[in-house]
Amino acid sequence: MAIETIIFPDAEQAAQQVAKKIQQLIQRKPDAVLGLATGGTPLLLYRELIRMHAEEGLSFAQVRTFNLDEYEGLPPDHPESYWSFMQRNLFDHIDISPGNYHLPSGMLAADAVPEHCEAYENAIRAAGGIDFQILGIGRNGHIGFNEPGSTISSRTRRVTLCEVTRSDAAPAFGSIEQVPTHAISMGCATILEAKEIVLLAFGEHKAEIVAQAVCGDVSENVTASYLQTHQNIHFYLDSAAARDLRESM
Ligand code: F6R
């Protein structure tokens, strides 16, 4: 088992520790490259980074960021686009420069998508690679939007979203019909190239899949299990998300 799990009494304390790691990284390397996630899980982390910026002078002026994914068909100003999620929950409240953050575009014509995905990969490479990648985990074990069946060598590409992923997103959109069916996502290989990876998981609803990712076979059925092959991977969990882990270890 290669994944180090660190279990906290609650999500807030886990998020604070991850924020501290990011703070130390930025102090060491002011132009650090961060891989960012959206969804409910990183919200407490982003709140803590915003606090560190406001109260402790943590500057993101030179930091570069690359988000994992973006829905297809949502313009950036759509309230559920990951572009607007990032503005609302992080970028609007820190001193990051607009040229320094990147998200895939979900608004391209089909024939422009492959070139866009390749350019995204090249931009990550040109930045020197991702120093610190933040991940959440889907209930089906996805990282980014690498749904079951995605290969370990997958790269940034157009993906089809699973039913479970779309139904988890349905409350935010009002109904499952309004949730996009496709997205652009970094691939598993893209993620695995990050120098350090922290996956956050909070709540009992993540317990079963966390245990599978950590203790199960490395398999395309649970793409988070690919993280077992990484040399510098940590799972930051609250005790609810770690429930099944304790039983299986
Ligand atoms: C988000 C992403 C997804 C989420 C995962 C968990 O950019 O790529 O993998 O991290 O679906 O979502 P939440 O945090 O909402 O439970």
Residue 106 Cβ < 6 Å to ligand 1: no
- 37: Cβ contacts below 8 Å, ≥ 6 apart: 67, 68, 134, 135, 136, 144
Q: Give the percent of the chain with pLDDT over 70.
A: 98
- pLDDT for 209 beyond 60: yes
The Cα diameter of the chain in Å comes to 48
Could you say which of 48, 72, 131, 147 is catalytic? Answer: 147
Residue 171 Cβ < 6 Å to ligand 1: no
Ligand 1, atom 2: closest residue by C-alpha: 144
Residue 187 Cβ < 6 Å to ligand 1: no
Q: What is the pLDDT of residue 78?
A: 97
Q: Is 177 a catalytic residue?
A: no
Q: What is the pLDDT of residue 248?
A: 53
* Contact present, 158 and 184 (Cβ < 8 Å): yes
The secondary element (H helix, E strand) that includes residue 237 is strand 233-238
Residue 40 Cβ < 6 Å to ligand 1: yes
Q: Give the percent of the chain with pLDDT over 90.
A: 97
Residue 223 Cβ < 6 Å to ligand 1: no
Q: Is 69 a catalytic residue?
A: yes
Distance CA 78, CA 107 (A): 12
Q: Which two tokens stand for residue 145?
A: 């939007």
Q: Which domain holds residue 27?
A: 4-248
- pLDDT for 211 beyond 80: yes
Q: Is 147 a catalytic residue?
A: yes
- pLDDT for 194 beyond 60: yes
Phi and psi at 109, nearest 5°, equal: -65, 150
For residue 143, the domain's CATH number is: 3.40.50.1360
Q: What is the pLDDT of residue 2?
A: 81
Q: Is 140 a catalytic residue?
A: yes
- The closest of 145, 129, 134, 137 to 198, measured between CA atoms, is 134
Q: What is the pLDDT of residue 66?
A: 99
Q: How many residues does the chain have?
A: 249
Is the pTM higher than 0.85? yes
- pLDDT for 1 beyond 70: no
End-to-end CA distance of the chain: 10
Distance CA 61, CA 239 (A): 35
| Count: domains in the chain | 1
Q: Which amino acid is at 154?
A: S
**pLDDT, tens digit (0-9, with 9 covering 90-100), for 102-136:** 999 999 999 999 999 999 999 999 999 999 999 99
Could you say which of 69, 70, 72, 121 is catalytic? Answer: 69
- pLDDT for 249 beyond 90: no
Greater confidence (8 vs 1) lies with 8
